[in-house]
């Protein structure tokens, strides 16, 4: 099953379900994650895709989980178009299981969750809340209640195999709209609590549409268009060159003395190599840029 997100509505409520198995596996391989990091990163990437699903097509969300646990910070970017990328600072963290589950909460620790919305028009807006448990879904639910005043329920799950690969990953976000009837909310919440865990359902081969049918069981639901999801980074050699130019002449001269440079993108772990000759060309561009700046002053 290709990773995708489906939206369903009933009067007064909406829900999004996303299967993210392949993109979580892609992130795990790129960052060489151990299971706790795979779970933490997979949950955060899925959460950002669910939050981005409420935005317009060219808009996006950045989530930064800044905890004091051994994983360090987790950063993910997602677009309403279904693209996502992300990294965790220390992907090789390993902790004993807690109640037979990956102890993501302890690996994340205490700290703050930041959510930034990029709308393209206005300045980006960042909201933040203290982490509740570090388990991500609970923290994002708390964020939505506190910052966006949308009563929401989030479930996120990543199931990891003994060979470290991802068996299934995905998430569900349920939101009550203004004017929703109390008894409808209660009935839908009871449906949700009866469902198995989200990663279990995807591992059994259920689709997001199947899960949404279970969430809104007993109600006539409308299914909306689905969005394909994938791990995609926006980095390029050209962008890395611009970063090098911005470092300035002195730093570039140091790199030239070393003979070469290798730069790695945080988000996708792609590496970009530059030879001495290429670095010299970039330094000459930096020289030009410096001079232009001086002439402008």
Sole binder of Zn ion in the list 41, 166, 174, 268 (CB under 5 A): 268
Q: Is 267 in the site for Zn ion (CB under 5 A)?
A: yes
Nearer to Zn ion, 57 or 236 (CB): 236
Smallest distance, Zn ion to C-beta of residue 84, A: 12
Identify the residue whose tokens are 């570039």. Answer: 252
Nearer to Zn ion, 146 or 243 (CB): 243
Sole binder of Zn ion in the list 252, 265, 279, 286 (CB under 5 A): 265
Closest residue by Cα to residue 267 from 232, 230, 228, 229: 232
Identify the residue whose tokens are 């923290």. Answer: 139
Smallest distance, Zn ion to C-beta of residue 270, A: 5
Angle between helices 237-247 and 276-296 (to 10 degrees): 60
C-alpha to C-alpha distance for 224 and 17, rounded to whole angstroms: 11
CB atoms within 10 A of CB 282: 21
Smallest distance, Zn ion to C-beta of residue 289, A: 24
C-alpha to C-alpha distance for 270 and 261, rounded to whole angstroms: 14
Smallest distance, Zn ion to C-beta of residue 125, A: 24
Which of 108-116, 130-138, 201-209, 266-274 is the region at the interface with Zn ion (rule: CB under 5 A)?
266-274
Nearer to Zn ion, 78 or 107 (CB): 78
| R_g (Cα) of the chain, nearest Å | 22
Task: Mark 223-262 with x for binding to Zn ion (rule: CB under 5 A) and - for no binding.
Answer: ----------x-x---------------------------
Q: Is 84 in the site for Zn ion (CB under 5 A)?
A: no
Q: Which residues contact 291 (CB under 8 A, 6 or more apart)?
A: none
Q: Is 102 in the site for Zn ion (CB under 5 A)?
A: no
Query: Which tokens sit at 239?
Result: 């962008």
Q: Exposed, middle or buried: residue 248 (CB in 10 Å: 0-12, 13-18, 19+)?
A: middle
Nearer to Zn ion, 60 or 157 (CB): 60
**Which residues in this chain contact Zn ion in the complex, by CB under 5 A?**
233, 235, 265, 267-268, 270
């Amino acid at each position: 099953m290709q990773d995708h997100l489906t939206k369903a509505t009933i009067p007064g409520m909406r829900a999004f379900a996303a299967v993210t198995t392949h993109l979580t596996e892609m992130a795990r391989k790129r960052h060489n994650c151990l299971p706790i990091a795979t779970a933490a990163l997979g949950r955060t990437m899925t959460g950002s895709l669910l939050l981005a699903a409420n935005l317009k097509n060219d808009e996006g969300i950045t989530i930064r989980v800044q905890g004091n646990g051994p994983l360090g910070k987790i950063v993910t970017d997602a677009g309403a178009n279904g693209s996502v990328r992300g990294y965790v600072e220390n992907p090789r963290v390993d902790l004993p299981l807690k109640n037979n589950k990956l102890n993501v909460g302890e690996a994340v620790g205490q700290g703050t969750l930041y959510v930034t919305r990029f709308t393209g028009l206005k300045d980006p807006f960042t909201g933040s809340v203290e982490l509740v448990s570090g388990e991500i879904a609970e923290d994002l639910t708390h964020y939505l209640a506190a910052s966006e005043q949308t009563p929401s329920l989030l479930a996120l799950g990543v199931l990891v195999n003994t060979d470290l690969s991802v068996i299934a990953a995905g998430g569900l976000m349920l939101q009550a709209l203004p004017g929703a009837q109390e008894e409808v909310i209660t009935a839908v919440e009871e449906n949700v609590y009866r469902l198995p865990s989200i990663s279990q359902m995807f591992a059994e081969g259920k689709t997001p549409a199947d899960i949404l049918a279970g969430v809104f069981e007993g109600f006539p639901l409308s299914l909306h268009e689905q969005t394909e999801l994938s791990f995609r980074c926006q980095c390029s050699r050209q962008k890395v060159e611009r970063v090098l130019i911005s470092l300035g002449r002195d730093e570039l001269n140091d790199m030239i003395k070393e003979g070469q440079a290798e730069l790695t993108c945080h988000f996708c772990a792609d590496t970009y190599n530059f030879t001495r000759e290429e670095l010299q060309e970039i330094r000459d561009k930096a020289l030009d840029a410096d001079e232009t700046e001086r002439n402008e002053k």
